[in-house]
Structure 1
Amino acid sequence: MTFRFGVRMAAALFFVSPALASVPTPFDRAAWQQDYAELKHALELGYANLAWKGSGAGGVDLPALNRTATDALAHAQSDAQAMDAIRTFVAGFHDGHLSEQPYLAPSGRAGATEPAEPALSAKDPIGGCAALGFASTGPVAFSLPFERLAEFKLLSDGLGETFRTGLIRPEPGVILGFIRIQAFRARAFPAACLHAWSDQVMAGTPITADTVRDTAVNRWFGDLADAMERLRRGGATAIVIDIGNNGGGDDSGDWTSRLFTNRQVHSARLLMIDAPVAAEYFDEVLGNLSAALDKRPGRAGVEALSEAHIRFSNLKAQIGRRGCDLSWVWREQRRWSLAACNRLVDAGYSGGASAGLPRGAYADRAVATSLSSASTVEAQFGTWTGPTYVLADKRSYSSAEMFAAVMRDNHVAKIVGVRTGGDGCGFMTSATPVVLIHSRLRFRMPNCLRLRADGTNEQAGIEPDLPVLPTEGESDRARAARAASAIAADVLRGQGQR
């Protein structure tokens, strides 16, 4: 299985540049100004959101940001001040995917020696899962303390079981079932790995890194479906998926939406930066399509795969052919549109060549998953079809925003809480950081952009249908109770409209 990663990096990490870490040298303002010019040029060539940010749609005034940075560098008296000017410039984009990376000291060796991978023993699932990188990386508790409400019944704690779940009856006739998803990647859920390990041992399947990882992904979705069934048995009339303080993850942010409806779900339209990095993604898609064709599917499958292969081959051929100078963003704001200068190429949908497929499409799983990766979990499609709500906050980023947007745009769920953080799409392929010549500061730049159903950039954040804003003098417990009441009232309104 291949997943696209877009997890937000913590902005509070401390980085040391060689300009400060090495033997002190005289301050060289011109060198720092050269670094700044290099960074801006790299953004023009490789930052997928630059034209959109340049329109002012993201609430950022790039000409003003540029003037501030230019002035700060002109008046800087030390490396520390110059470095702060560049870091402040990058922070001004308000894009967690556009972020500084740790400084790498020269190794002093021709090549670093990679340690041997730990051996996996079928008898040591805890050690094996840890060795494979499974660890809780996000807060397991609900983003609002529903657990601390008197009426709330906790069904699973999210530690021994994959997901934290519970029930509450905020109004007569309404029982809300809560599921906590603190990250959209199986690796952040050790219990999913332990369950997968047990499944493989019982089935007699060899324990390898690849089989455990793949089985853990499948088990993550199976455990999510089981959690919904348990809430249904507990009498839930609506389900609330809590993605508050969820920094993102991988493609599961798109796939998960299919579990909450028996209708066909459409993934977001995907654009990639018009640069060689896009070719890597197209090659991967084309390889998957070719592999599915090699399995000799039925006629309908051959036609769909062949059409998609031709389309993506043509899209790949267009990379780099459309000249576009984005240096205007530092001088003025221009209206953003797909037809204007933006250095973006069409890349199908976030799930692949198809926006989405129904269960059993083409009667061939290999065909379906090659066209729409979400079909990987079609066994769990439509597990729950009742009223659904997504609880989000300003710390919901990246893949969590993809989930919220797909749920909202496909009318599967209503969004509750506050607007999400606004990182949007991160990376469809690995992103090699830009390294500035003088300071050796390293920055990564997102290479993709997802469009919502109305054509807007997901990075604008997902606005709530039911706002539950923090209120002065209100405790977190009181806000949790208010959120539950707001959802219950909406459920009752929906029942009255039927």
Structure 2
Amino acid sequence: MRSVISVCCAIGLAAAAPVPSQTWSPQPWLADLSQAQQAFKTKYANIDWLEHDREITLSTLFDRAASRIRSATSDTEAKGIFDRLIQRVGDGHVTIDWPRPASPSPAPASPEPSNICDDMGFDANRSTSGIGSHLLGYRQVGEDSPFPAGIIPFGKQNVGVIRIGVFEPEGSPFICHAALQALHIPADKSCDDKCQDAVLTWSYNRFTATLEEQVRALKAAGATALLVDVTDNGGGSEWAEAAARILSSRAILSARRGFVRGSHWSAQWKSLAEQLRRAAAGADPNDRSRLLFWAAEAEAARRDAEQACAGLGACPLVGHAGYATGLVGAARAGEFAGKPWADLVFSITQFPYHDAVWSGPLAVLVDDETWSAAEEFAAVLQDNRAAVIVGSRTGGAGCGHTRGGTPTVLENSGATLELPDCVRFRADGSDEVAGVIPDVLVGMRASDGATFKAKLIQTHLPAAIKLAIEQNSARRP
């Protein structure tokens, strides 16, 4: 499996690194602030959204922070000013991570035995239980699963409810352990990159199959409409695009992609063009023609990424090429089966999904803790009129960091500033970072208790299911 683009979001705030001096000076912090401002100007994919939709002028934002730093009296105050600046931006993928102060070395302890799944980041805490199971009359369907499922009676409808807590298998350690068993890999042995790739591939395959199995179980139990709960979902990977296609009877076109002009994306487009040309050299005539066409698209994107005007403010910072899924934005499941180059052009071919496993009315439940890949899932279904979105406006993280991102290490404090380097553009041209606004709004907060949220949702669910039924009926020939 080629590397899966992770689109999770988190804000890292730790203790400040600079050591207090007897006479405190703001100058090193002002230098860091200037460096951070330059990074925003040249690396921040969502700068147009910040200045036009959020109406936050970059120069004003940083001028105010500089004024506060000049009035500060300590590193702690200066650090707090940086933290508040990041919070003011309001982008789930903009983070600052402060280096931790050195601590006395503890006495040597016996090394803990290595565990492959822990080392690979599998952690059950990455996925939460959601709200769906708290809805009135909920009855569980099927066995324990990464995707808990049930049915609620709803007038003449039986609404199936399925929970997706995170859009990647790393939230389900038992899948990793099953992979180790199936691949005959001892859990306490070292696992190199090839080994980890095999474990991850098996895990994604099992994850995909399990979602499809749960959907079929709900159909067999009599579900006539489906509610997918992605509240309190921090994101995951581009597997979200595969999940959307599993659950939609309508052909899905992915969001158009934007990228920050500069060396980071120039290198990615150059590498892709080279890989496609190599694939074309050994392909049959029909495939060769397509591959050379896509290689030319990648090469054009590379030239666009290398435009010097972006760094000078003479042209937009963000270029446009391809889709969230690659150079191809829509394809039938299996359309590129057996093609060794398939995931170079349509990334989700690496997941063995099937289209339209669910073909009935579909609603998606979101809240203000729905982020990143979970927003991608909701947005692409909404934009294709494949689902009705119900709940509260999502958190607003949008596209994140590709191939390690473009981190900026601030020279004085050593803090690492992370800025997203890509954009997913909605069908109306807006930036997904603005958050997904539901078709049916519910006045709930993520901080509300599950029972209270379920009560609020229950009030609005009739409208959402009615819209979903109408939407689904309109798609039928």
Between the aligned partners of 1:31 and 1:359, the Cα distance in structure 2 is: 54
Q: CA deviation at 1:314?
A: 2.4
The answer to whether the aligner puts 1:4 opposite 2:5 as a matched pair is: yes
Contact 1:161 1:191 in 2 (8 A): no
Between the aligned partners of 2:355 and 2:396, the Cα distance in structure 1 is: 28
Partner of 1:404: 378
The one of 50, 54, 62 aligned to 1:53: 50
Q: CA deviation at 1:199?
A: 4.5
How has the CA–CA distance of structure 1 residues 72 and 387 changed in structure 2, closer, same or farther, with 3 Å as cutoff? Answer: same
Between the aligned partners of 2:408 and 2:472, the Cα distance in structure 1 is: 54
Report which stretch shifted further, 482-491 or 440-449: 482-491
The answer to whether the aligner puts 1:152 opposite 2:124 as a matched pair is: no
CA RMSD of aligned residues (A): 3.0
Between the aligned partners of 2:116 and 2:416, the Cα distance in structure 1 is: 33
The answer to whether the aligner puts 1:70 opposite 2:66 as a matched pair is: yes
Q: CA deviation at 1:32?
A: 1.9
Contact 1:139 1:182 in 2 (8 A): yes
Between the aligned partners of 2:112 and 2:168, the Cα distance in structure 1 is: 22
How has the CA–CA distance of structure 1 residues 301 and 318 changed in structure 2, closer, same or farther, with 3 Å as cutoff? Answer: same
Contact 1:416 1:466 in 2 (8 A): yes
The one of 170, 173, 184 aligned to 1:190: 173
Q: What code does the residue aligned with 1:129 have?
A: C
Partner of 2:108: none
Where 2:176 maps in the other structure, the secondary structure is: helix
Q: Cα deviation per residue 1:304-343 (whole Å; 9 max; x = unaligned)?
A: 111111221222133332413577xxxxxxxxxxxx8321
How has the CA–CA distance of structure 1 residues 452 and 175 changed in structure 2, closer, same or farther, with 3 Å as cutoff? Answer: same
Q: What code does the residue aligned with 1:258 have?
A: R
Q: Cα deviation per residue 1:229-277 (whole Å; 9 max; x = unaligned)?
A: 0011011111111111111111112222111234432111111111111
Where 2:322 maps in the other structure, the secondary structure is: strand
The normalised TM-score by structure 2 is 0.87
Q: What code does the residue aligned with 1:227 have?
A: Q
How has the CA–CA distance of structure 1 residues 238 and 63 changed in structure 2, closer, same or farther, with 3 Å as cutoff? Answer: same
Between the aligned partners of 1:309 and 1:346, the Cα distance in structure 2 is: 16
How has the CA–CA distance of structure 1 residues 482 and 66 changed in structure 2, closer, same or farther, with 3 Å as cutoff? Answer: same
Partner of 2:117: 129
Identical-residue share of aligned pairs (%) = 26
Q: CA deviation at 1:494?
A: 5.6
Q: CA deviation at 1:58?
A: 3.0
Q: CA deviation at 1:493?
A: 5.1
The one of 300, 305, 309 aligned to 2:286: 300
How has the CA–CA distance of structure 1 residues 355 and 165 changed in structure 2, closer, same or farther, with 3 Å as cutoff? Answer: same
Between the aligned partners of 2:415 and 2:100, the Cα distance in structure 1 is: 9
How has the CA–CA distance of structure 1 residues 228 and 437 changed in structure 2, closer, same or farther, with 3 Å as cutoff? Answer: same
Q: What code does the residue aligned with 1:248 have?
A: G
Where 1:366 maps in the other structure, the secondary structure is: coil
Partner of 1:393: 367
Contact 2:175 2:206 in 1 (8 A): yes
Where 1:192 maps in the other structure, the secondary structure is: helix
Contact 2:204 2:351 in 1 (8 A): no
Between the aligned partners of 2:120 and 2:472, the Cα distance in structure 1 is: 46
1:469-488 aligned within 5 A:
469-470=443-444, 475-488=452-465
1:27-106 aligned within 5 A:
27-55=24-52, 57-103=53-99
How has the CA–CA distance of structure 1 residues 130 and 437 changed in structure 2, closer, same or farther, with 3 Å as cutoff? Answer: closer
Q: CA deviation at 1:489?
A: 3.6
Contact 1:240 1:391 in 2 (8 A): yes
Partner of 1:343: 317
How has the CA–CA distance of structure 1 residues 84 and 307 changed in structure 2, closer, same or farther, with 3 Å as cutoff? Answer: same
Partner of 1:15: 14
Partner of 2:436: 462
How has the CA–CA distance of structure 1 residues 149 and 400 changed in structure 2, closer, same or farther, with 3 Å as cutoff? Answer: closer
Partner of 2:235: 248
Q: Cα deviation per residue 1:10-68 (whole Å; 9 max; x = unaligned)?
A: 4xx5422222xx3534211222222211110111111111233122x135354542342
Partner of 1:231: 218
Partner of 1:445: 419
How has the CA–CA distance of structure 1 residues 324 and 362 changed in structure 2, closer, same or farther, with 3 Å as cutoff? Answer: closer
Where 1:324 maps in the other structure, the secondary structure is: helix
Matched pairs, number: 457
How has the CA–CA distance of structure 1 residues 450 and 495 changed in structure 2, closer, same or farther, with 3 Å as cutoff? Answer: closer
Where 1:191 maps in the other structure, the secondary structure is: helix
Partner of 1:112: none
Q: CA deviation at 1:74?
A: 2.7
The answer to whether the aligner puts 1:323 opposite 2:309 as a matched pair is: yes
Q: Cα deviation per residue 1:272-317 (whole Å; 9 max; x = unaligned)?
A: 11111112322443354245435x3333221111111122122213
Q: What code does the residue aligned with 1:96 have?
A: G
How has the CA–CA distance of structure 1 residues 490 and 191 changed in structure 2, closer, same or farther, with 3 Å as cutoff? Answer: farther
Q: Cα deviation per residue 1:318-375 (whole Å; 9 max; x = unaligned)?
A: 3332413577xxxxxxxxxxxx832122231111111121234356443443321123
Contact 1:162 1:191 in 2 (8 A): no
Q: What code does the residue aligned with 1:344 have?
A: V
Between the aligned partners of 1:50 and 1:102, the Cα distance in structure 2 is: 23
Contact 1:297 1:367 in 2 (8 A): no
Q: CA deviation at 1:156?
A: 4.8
The normalised TM-score by structure 1 is 0.83
Partner of 1:270: 257
Q: Cα deviation per residue 1:359-413 (whole Å; 9 max; x = unaligned)?
A: 3435644344332112333542221111111111111111111111111111211
Where 1:241 maps in the other structure, the secondary structure is: strand
Report which stretch shifted further, 352-361 or 476-485: 476-485
Between the aligned partners of 1:378 and 1:288, the Cα distance in structure 2 is: 23
Between the aligned partners of 1:255 and 1:60, the Cα distance in structure 2 is: 35
Q: What code does the residue aligned with 2:9 have?
A: R
Q: CA deviation at 1:423?
A: 1.0
How has the CA–CA distance of structure 1 residues 37 and 470 changed in structure 2, closer, same or farther, with 3 Å as cutoff? Answer: same
Structure 2 unaligned regions, length at least 5: 104-110, 186-190
The one of 388, 397, 404 aligned to 1:414: 388
Q: What code does the residue aligned with 2:237 have?
A: D
Q: CA deviation at 1:492?
A: 5.5
